[in-house]
Amino acid sequence: MRARGQEPPVVLLGMDGKPLGLELVAASKACGEQRYEDALAILEKVTATDHVALVEAIGIAEHGANAAHARGQRDVARSLLALALQGYQAFASWATSGAEGMGRMHDVERVRKQLASW
């Protein structure tokens, strides 16, 4: 649905159901435009001091990593996947029970294996 030649707005929601910050939306858009280096730079800046943003960036980073890897951009793919791994590790550390933590560690181990295979 375009109004007068404008693209429809993209709304990405965070863990709390509220829209993500503009930086994370910009990183997602950069991935969609195959500008993986730009996406990585944005994500590294935003997540450097904000652990909630780090967790909210997991999907963007992992999707970007897989897309970059498929296009032969191995270095940026590894960096994006390493960022996703950090997010999964942070999320797992927030678990409030043993079973919850074990469940969250599944993604940590999956991404570790994937990163090791790259």
Q: Catalogue all structural domains in the chain, each as residue range(s) with its CATH number.
A: 22-117 (1.25.40)
For every residue of 40-54, DSSP letters joined together read: HHHHHHHHSS-HHHH
On the question of pLDDT at 105 being above 90, the answer is yes
Q: Using only the alpha carbons of the chain, give its radius of gyration.
A: 15
Task: Render pLDDT for 42-84 as a digit per residue (tens, 0 to 9).
Answer: 999 999 988 888 989 999 999 999 999 999 999 999 999 999 9
> Which residues contact residue 110 at a Cβ distance below 8 angstroms, ignoring those fewer than 6 apart?
none
**How far is residue 67's CA from residue 39's CA, in Å, rounded to a whole number?**
12
Note the pTM of the prediction, 2 decimals.
Answer: 0.85
Which is nearest to 37 in space by CA: 15, 66, 68?
A: 68
